[in-house]
């Protein structure tokens, strides 16, 4: 038996190696020489590469599985609508205070103390129509510093939640967002250096929906909280007394044994026998999900459903599947039709270790997510799922691949017990910019998870990418059909997997992060940056927003009395002035002009060279990290 297995996997490996080769043959490799040398020098820790066995509770046993209703995060109303002095359009101004609150999770134990946006978790849902800019003032009234990232938004660098752009307790920062994208499910969450996992675990994450008329016209199931339901997944550990376990000091992963949906462990939702739009967001620290639906009375038969959206909004067409991988930070939206299940209960379940692609620790109940209780009375359902959801997006979907070669190769690995990318971590300030991409260029990046003992969901800020290929010594799944039908901003590198992602590095220049979204890995220190550099023949004036630590946009101190009494910076007049001053700098209002000029610059000079200028390696003490520059 063992002999046979070995032969089988050896055969698979040879087969997959030749597939990897044939993929590589399709693309020219044009990575910088310094990057090639750095890759050669990497020494990896031994991952051990073994599957763990299923465990019993680590938290106190949770007695109310499927007994509490699913909470729906409330929609946040803008506090003010201010006219943009440049465009004449409205800017919606919101406020969120980051503050402690308690939640009684276990009925007979102490309540957990959490810290969330406006004192709830998930935070309130922001819902803005496409084309309406927003400014959100995040006020830190907590006990730790924060930084806010609107995940999936092409925000200017100073508003992108750069990990070192911190807001300390007693400070606030105004974030300006474009909302120029087609309808999609963004989310806002903490990104503070080294404590992102802790802040997210204790509650700092929320949904942010851009809506538009094109999507509304499709006739999909609609009505936030009614037939359009956000499902924010998380997985946590509790202490014996019912309080939430801290993850400070954890440097491997925090899998969690208590699955939450919208902040409630294993909830149920009463539904009607009709179609629902369900919006999944994996907001866990480390756990990846492989989701499927079954009837409670037939646990072995998976029920098919239609995927209609990815991280970047609608897929081009619905994709039918009966299981769905959702690694950390990914969003997938589905339409599930309950009409055939009147009077029955259904369960949303999770495959252990994601069917072998993950390495997550499993517990007795981590195979369960939530229950749907379908009422027996028939209802009228006029919603539909059209066969075409949108046109392909140029250039990535109209011409695939839209460029010719592999521009960068990034290996996500572990060395000396530290998580790194090409042997660099975020703390290595001199070397953490691993790519310089000329503004407007289309690049292919190869993202590699060499080791089998860990997996990494990779997020690239600023851009949407197309997942072109997935291969690896033990990977046979390729690009999932629902992944291929849309654009993404997170891609999962499963065990031994390598992917090719292609993105258009536009429209903004500036320094942005890319990193593993297993937040424990991200904090310790699997995060680096890329610099979208200005074109030399650009000849165009705009305000410089390229520096994520630009002091013009840094957090500012406030007095508690000013906030509660709406005085000082919190009067309507002061807010209007601040927002108008920001708008006058035109962070987003020149978008069309910028895009046109970028296109023109590339048409006239298609061979814009990579900017190879770089700093001298720093003199001084021997660095913690191997150093190299792009
Ligand atoms: C990013 O590139 C620009 C050139 O467009 C350069 O001026 C800037 O210093 C670079 N930033 C960093 C942090 O290297
Ligand atoms: C750019 O701005 C400078 C200073 O405001 C001005 O002198 C110059 O004419 C502008 N150039 C263009 C091309 O608009
Ligand atoms: C170190 C290691 O195992 N590297 C492998 C990572 O995956 C790629 C593609 O799957 C292989 O080509 C590497 O050998
Ligand atoms: Cu990782």
3-state secondary structure 148-200: EEEECCCCCHHHCCCCCCCECCCEEEEEEECCCCCCEEEEEEECCCCCHHHHH
CA–CA distance, 454 with 50 (Å, rounded to integer): 10
Q: Which ligand sits nearest to residue 509's alpha carbon?
A: 1
Q: Measured from the CA of 20, which atom of ligand 3 is nearest?
A: 9
Tell whether ligand 1 has an atom less than 6 A from the beta carbon of residue 511: yes
CA–CA distance, 257 with 287 (Å, rounded to integer): 10
Which residues, 6+ apart, have CB-to-CB distance to 593 below 8 Å? none
Residues within 5 Å of ion ligand 4 by Cβ?
Answer: 456, 516, 518, 521
pLDDT value of position 613 = 42
**What is the CA(331)–ligand 2 centre distance, in A?**
42
pLDDT value of position 18 = 72
Tell whether ligand 1 has an atom less than 6 A from the beta carbon of residue 629: no
pLDDT value of position 614 = 40
**What is the CA(26)–ligand 3 centre distance, in A?**
18
Alpha carbon distances (Å) from 193 to 190, 196, 425, 426, 545: 9, 6, 12, 9, 21
Using alpha carbons only, give the angle 395, 398, 403 rounded to the nearest 5 degrees.
50
CA–CA distance, 274 with 385 (Å, rounded to integer): 12
Which residues, 6+ apart, have CB-to-CB distance to 231 below 8 Å? 70, 261, 262, 278, 279, 280, 281, 370
Q: Which ligand sits nearest to residue 327's alpha carbon?
A: 4
Residue (of 407, 480, 476, 418) closest to 630 by Cα position = 407
- The pair of structure tokens assigned to 357 is 């692609």
DSSP structure class, residue 486: S
Which residues, 6+ apart, have CB-to-CB distance to 71 below 8 Å? 262, 263, 264, 267
Pocket test for ligand 1, best of 157, 533, 598 (most atoms within 8 A of CB): 533
**What is the CA(542)–ligand 2 centre distance, in A?**
9
Q: Is there a contact between 491 and 475 (Cβ–Cβ < 8 Å)?
A: no
Q: Measured from the CA of 534, which atom of ligand 1 is nearest?
A: 5
Q: Which ligand sits nearest to residue 615's alpha carbon?
A: 1
Residue 184: half-sphere exposure toward Cβ, Cα within 13 Å: 29
Pick out the chain residues at pLDDT < 50: 1-12, 611-630
Model confidence, pTM = 0.93
CA–CA distance, 323 with 480 (Å, rounded to integer): 11
pLDDT value of position 20 = 76
Q: Which ligand sits nearest to residue 541's alpha carbon?
A: 2
CA–CA distance, 150 with 198 (Å, rounded to integer): 18
Pocket test for ligand 1, best of 158, 424, 546, 618 (most atoms within 8 A of CB): 546
């Amino acid at each position: 038996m063992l002999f046979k297995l070995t032969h089988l996997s050896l055969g698979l490996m040879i087969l997959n190696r030749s597939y990897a080769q044939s993929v590589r043959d399709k693309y020219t490799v044009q990575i910088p020489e310094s990057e090639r040398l750095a890759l050669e020098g990497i020494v990896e820790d031994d991952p051990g590469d073994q599957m763990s066995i299923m465990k019993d509770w680590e938290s106190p046993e949770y007695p109310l599985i499927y007994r509490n209703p699913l909470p729906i995060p409330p929609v946040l109303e803008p506090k003010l609508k201010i006219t943009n002095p440049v465009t004449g359009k409205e800017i919606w101004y919101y406020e969120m205070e980051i503050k402690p609150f308690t939640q009684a999770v276990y009925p007979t134990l102490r309540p957990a103390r959490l810290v969330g946006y406006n004192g709830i978790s998930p935070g309130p849902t922001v819902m803005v129509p496409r084309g309406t800019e927003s400014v959100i003032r995040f006020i830190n009234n907590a006990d730790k510093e924060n930084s806010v990232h609107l995940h999936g938004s092409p925000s200017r660098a100073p508003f992108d939640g750069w990990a070192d752009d911190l807001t300390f307790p007693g400070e606030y920062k105004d974030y300006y967002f474009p909302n120029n994208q087609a309808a999609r499910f963004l989310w806002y969450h903490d990104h503070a250096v080294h404590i992102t996992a802790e802040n997210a675990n204790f509650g700092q994450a929320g949904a942010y929906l851009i809506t538009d008329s094109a999507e509304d016209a499709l006739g999909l199931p609609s009505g936030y909280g009614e037939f359009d339901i956000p499902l924010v997944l998380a997985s946590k550990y509790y202490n014996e007394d019912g309080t939430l376990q801290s993850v400070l000091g954890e440097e491997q992963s925090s899998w969690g044994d208590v699955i939450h949906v919208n902040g409630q462990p294993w909830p149920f939702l009463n539904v009607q026998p009709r179609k629902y739009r369900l919006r999944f967001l994996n907001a866990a620290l480390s756990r990846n999900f492989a989701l499927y639906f079954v009837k409670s009375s037939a646990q072995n038969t998976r029920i098919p459903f239609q995927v209609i959206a990815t991280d970047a909004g609608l897929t081009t067409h619905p994709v039918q599947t009966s299981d769905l991988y959702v690694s950390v930070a990914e969003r997938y939206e589905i339409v599930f039709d309950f009409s055939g299940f009147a009077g029955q209960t259904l369960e949303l379940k999770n495959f252990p270790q994601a069917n072998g692609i993950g390495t997550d620790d499993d517990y007795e109940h981590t195979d369960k997510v939530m229950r749907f209780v379908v009422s027996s009375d028939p209802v009228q359902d006029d919603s539909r799922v059209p066969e075409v959801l949108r046109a392909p997006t140029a250039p990535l979907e109209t011409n695939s691949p839209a460029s010719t070669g592999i521009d960068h190769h990034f290996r996500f690995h572990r060395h000396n017990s530290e998580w790194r990318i090409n042997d660099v971590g975020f703390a290595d300030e001199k070397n953490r910019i691993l790519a310089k991409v000329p503004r407007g260029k289309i690049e292919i990046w190869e993202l590699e998870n060499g080791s089998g003992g860990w997996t990494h969901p990779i997020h690239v800020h600023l851009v949407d990418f197309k997942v072109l290929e997935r291969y690896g010594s033990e990977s046979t799944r390729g690009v999932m059909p629902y992944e291929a039908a849309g654009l993404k901003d997170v891609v999962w590198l499963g065990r031994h997997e390598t992917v090719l992602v292609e993105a258009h590095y536009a429209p903004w220049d500036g320094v942005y992060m890319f990193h593993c979204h297993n937040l424990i890995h991200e904090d310790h220190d699997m995060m680096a940056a890329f610099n979208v550099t200005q074109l030399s023949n650009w000849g165009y004036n705009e305000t410089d927003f390229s520096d994520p630590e630009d002091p013009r946009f840094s957090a500012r101190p406030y007095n508690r009395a000013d906030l509660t009494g709406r005085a000082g910076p919190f009067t309507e007049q002061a807010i209007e002035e601040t927002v108008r001053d920001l708008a006058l700098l035109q962070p987003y209002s020149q978008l069309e002009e910028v895009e046109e000029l970028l296109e023109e610059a590339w048409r006239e000079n298609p061979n814009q060279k990579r900017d190879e200028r770089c700093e001298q390696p720093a003199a001084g003490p021997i660095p913690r990290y191997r150093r190299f520059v792009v």
